[in-house]
Amino acid sequence: MQIKTFSARSAGAVLAQIREDFGPEAVILETSEEDGLVRMTAAREPAPAAPGASLPGRAARDALSPPAGGQTEQMLWLEEWNHIRTHLLALMKPALKLGDLPPRQRLALEFLQREGVDDRAMLDLFSRLKADPAASILAPLGEMVLIRPWSLAGWPQPVQILAGPFGAGKTSVALRMALLLRKESPGLRICLVNADATRGSGRLFLRHYAELSDMDYREAASTVELASCLLNAEKERYDRIFLDLPGLARRTFLKTLLADAGLLEAPAKAAVHLVLEPHYGEKILAGLLERYASGLPGSLVWTKLDEAEHFGQMVNAALATGLPISALSYGPGLGGSLAPARDITLWRLLFKKELP
């Protein structure tokens, strides 16, 4: 067995070195972090790695990392653009003469306004409906709000990442999504990785139900441990790995966390599902969508629908991110409390307040 210690300034860079030298069969034996330097001791059998098995090296990792100070400049630019956009929409809003539309279309738009659908979406819908007085509002809505139902075929990536603010229900959603896949394919090998191990209640909850459901459970308290855990889980060839990420602190970004854990180096292997509640105000939602942008394939998962009064933010988030809605979650239990998103289900929720 070959054993070697690698070191770099980030876990992603260390993993790139390990994969270049040892290939995908490497096993992480030990990890440590001191004075800003990450060290990992890895091992492999003497047999050479298969040609082409290694992942992109350090240059690719560095290309994915934001330059120093880039996040601050990006935040300032986004704040300025949002300020300009707000004024532009205010100038355009008087042109939104709903009385020019047939009664059926006008009533639908007025309802969406009361539900909290923002001006950008309303202007878009208005212009499309005015061009075709006989059109149903569901046609342009369907183009704005994309849907890709949660399923094995719909989301084939081996690593499914649950991200979102504290208290949004990521841990429950991870279990519910895993159980739905297990129901679809009873022999599916699933590993649940808890990267929010500092929160005791969520940790015990996830571990308990993982054991009851015959799913493997791992923990990672830092990005270094997370990178090591995912590499070892990948080696065991699970059908799906569910990663429950902690919420982000203010002025921190999901892309940074994913890059440090080496998850941006293989974008085809992971999908990020942003878990949100429909209760957020306009400014809070805009800030969340900005900080939780990942650059990876992904979706929106809406939770606590049974506690909500209005669902307009579901339209706003879909339009702002371009991400499809994959699942709808509601109720306290694990069984029968998460439904794959469907057109008819979403429209009934939005217009009739009917839960899936």
Domain match, 119 and 43 both: no
322 within a domain of the structure (yes/no): yes
Q: Which of 144, 179, 197 is the last residue of a domain?
A: 144
Domain match, 175 and 278 both: yes
Domain match, 310 and 344 both: yes
Give the span between the Cα atoms of 302 and 3, in whole angstroms: 45
Give the span between the Cα atoms of 287 and 284, in whole angstroms: 5
151 within a domain of the structure (yes/no): no
Domain match, 226 and 345 both: yes
149 within a domain of the structure (yes/no): no
Q: How far is CA 242 from the centre of its chain?
A: 12
How would you write 32-84 as a 3-class SS string? EEECCEEEEEEEECCCCCCCCCCCCCHHHHHHHCCCCCHHHHHHHHHHHHHHH
Domain match, 124 and 185 both: no
Domain match, 183 and 324 both: yes
> Residue 161 pairs with which residues in a beta bridge?
243, 272
Domain match, 101 and 190 both: no
Domain match, 48 and 91 both: no
Domain match, 117 and 257 both: no
Q: Which of 121, 144, 167 is the last residue of a domain?
A: 144
Domain match, 108 and 180 both: no
Tell me the residue range of the domain where 332 lies.
159-352
252 within a domain of the structure (yes/no): yes
Q: pLDDT tens, position by position, for the chain (356 residues)?
A: 677 888 888 777 877 788 788 876 677 777 777 777 888 888 776 554 343 433 333 333 343 344 444 455 555 555 555 555 554 444 444 456 677 788 888 899 999 989 999 888 888 888 888 888 888 999 999 999 999 999 999 999 999 999 999 989 999 999 999 999 999 999 999 999 998 766 656 678 888 888 888 999 999 888 888 888 888 888 898 999 999 999 998 889 999 999 988 888 877 899 999 999 999 988 899 999 999 999 899 999 999 999 999 999 999 999 999 999 999 999 888 878 999 999 999 999 999 999 98
- Report field, pTM of the whole predicted structure over 0.85: no
Angle between helices 282-291 and 70-92 (to 10 degrees): 140
Domain match, 51 and 175 both: no
- The tally of domains found in the chain comes to 3
